[in-house]
Copies of this chain bind each other. A is one copy, B any other.
Amino acid sequence: MISQNPVFVPGPTNIPEVIRKACDMPTVDHRANIFTEILHPAIAGMRKVLKTKNGHVFVFPASGSGGWEAAIANTLSPGDTVLAASGGFFAVRWIELCRLHGLNVKTIDSPWSNHIPLDAISRELESDRKGAIKAVLVTHSETSTGVLNDIGAVRSVIDGASHEAMLFVDGVSSIASMDFRMDDWRVDVAVCGSQKGLMLPAGLSIVGVSERAFDLAPSAGMPRFYFDFSAMHRSYGAGSYPYTPSAALINGLLASTHFLLDEGLENVFARHQRIAEGIRRAVEAWGLEIFAEDPEHRSNAVTGITVPNGCDSAELIRHAATKYEVAFGIGLGEVAGKIFRIGHLGSLTDVMAISGIAAAEMAMADLGYPVELGSGVAAAQEFYRGESRAEQKLAA
């Protein structure tokens, strides 16, 4: 039985009614005009969401991690060197993927609770006189920890080092929830998934590609077929697709971009900021630690919360799921058992966020955490009351 409670995993997220209905589309012929009439505006919408004027956007029927593979397979050759920050479970997975594909990966290691050390990136690039490093790989919002990296700052560091490396960004849990500026930051490949800020079911890996990265196809020696940018590009130009597309999900993507652009991207980001801040106030009121140490580098998509010594966050997650039918995110990799995560991206209201806080409080209390019932809720309420009122004044 599926619970009527919202989910608080950091993706897949709660799906708004109108988007669910867009995804529930009868079969159409993907070789006919009707498909093009869905695909082309969906891509145009995604360009706006990515803040790119002319960047390519490719929509693969795949989970988000398919985009990681697409990024390197279309631009690099086995033996190439990339520089990658390793501070989180998903960052580490992307590195693993690179290595499995024969890349030479230099990693920037740092504690998972911290954002990427920009100076370390700078040092690596400056010492790379021969330009061996072909690309810098960074995760924008690290879903496993709730740490937010500053992509604009990474771009400045690359520019500061006068290095030619491309910039590849895992924006899976940031894009459509937090400001992402593909053109301003000159991101060469931006990877996102349908099941996060886009509020769709999983199943689409959407990849933004700069002209520079796109043009590397002829020299990129990685084998590729399914995740080939050029084949996708040729097909789009012909109003078609290189294989059978997930037409219904693409119709959902079209609805999602309408949904986001109708609200206004800056309003969407402000809403995520507000919802997230309420969650963070609740954690403070509980007397627990937010895993991401630096307040300036916390994601508005997900908050990792360190459980008290002696507690097992996996037990907490199981208990909340079993007794209260509320899903939170577990700790992954090296923080397994140590943190739990509240996902707060996508389509959430203040009231839904509070229900998650309340459920976490109950579950923690049941397991003997030193948390006062209602304390986190009250802190979030106080914050949301003020913020929402402010919005109304502006609107009036």
Query: Which residues of A approach B to under 8 Å, CB–CB?
Result: 2-7, 9, 11-17, 20-21, 23-34, 61-66, 68-69, 78, 96-97, 100-102, 193, 195, 201-203, 222-227, 242-249, 321-327, 329-330, 347-352, 354-355, 358-359, 361-362, 365-366, 372-375, 377-379, 381-382, 384-385, 388-389, 392
**Pairwise interchain contact B381-A373, C-beta atoms closer than 8 A:** yes
A172 closest partner in B (C-beta): B244
Q: Which residues of B contact A327 (CB under 8 A)?
A: 28-29, 32
Q: Which residues of B contact A96 (CB under 8 A)?
A: 225
* A5 CA / B352 CA spacing, docked (Å): 7
Number of identical monomers bound together in the oligomeric complex: 4
Q: How far is the CB of A174 from chain B (nearest CB, A)?
A: 16
**Pairwise interchain contact A355-B366, C-beta atoms closer than 8 A:** no
A101 closest partner in B (C-beta): B223
**Pairwise interchain contact A351-B323, C-beta atoms closer than 8 A:** no
* A384 CA / B325 CA spacing, docked (Å): 13
22 A-B pairs whose Cβ atoms sit less than 8 Å apart in the complex? A2-B28, A4-B352, A9-B31, A31-B329, A32-B321, A61-B202, A65-B225, A65-B243, A69-B225, A202-B245, A202-B246, A222-B223, A226-B227, A325-B349, A351-B359, A352-B355, A354-B355, A354-B358, A358-B377, A362-B381, A374-B375, A374-B377
> Which of A13, A33, A248, A392 is most buried by chain B, counting CB atoms within 10 A of its CB?
A248
**Pairwise interchain contact B27-A14, C-beta atoms closer than 8 A:** yes
**Pairwise interchain contact B355-A326, C-beta atoms closer than 8 A:** no
A321 closest partner in B (C-beta): B32
Known contacts A201-B248, A226-B65, A349-B325, A14 near B4 by CB under 8 Å = yes
Q: Which residues of B contact A388 (CB under 8 A)?
A: 323-324
> Which of A21, A27, A243, A388 is most buried by chain B, counting CB atoms within 10 A of its CB?
A27
* A326 CA / B31 CA spacing, docked (Å): 12
Q: How far is the CB of A176 from chain B (nearest CB, A)?
A: 16
**Pairwise interchain contact B15-A26, C-beta atoms closer than 8 A:** yes
* A62 CA / B67 CA spacing, docked (Å): 12
Q: How far is the CB of A20 from chain B (nearest CB, A)?
A: 6
**Pairwise interchain contact B30-A100, C-beta atoms closer than 8 A:** no
**Pairwise interchain contact A389-B244, C-beta atoms closer than 8 A:** no
* A99 CA / B251 CA spacing, docked (Å): 33
A31 closest partner in B (C-beta): B330
Q: Which residues of B contact A385 (CB under 8 A)?
A: 362, 365-366, 373
Known contacts A23-B24, A202-B244, A226-B66, A12 near B30 by CB under 8 Å = yes
* A102 CA / B348 CA spacing, docked (Å): 47
* A66 CA / B243 CA spacing, docked (Å): 9
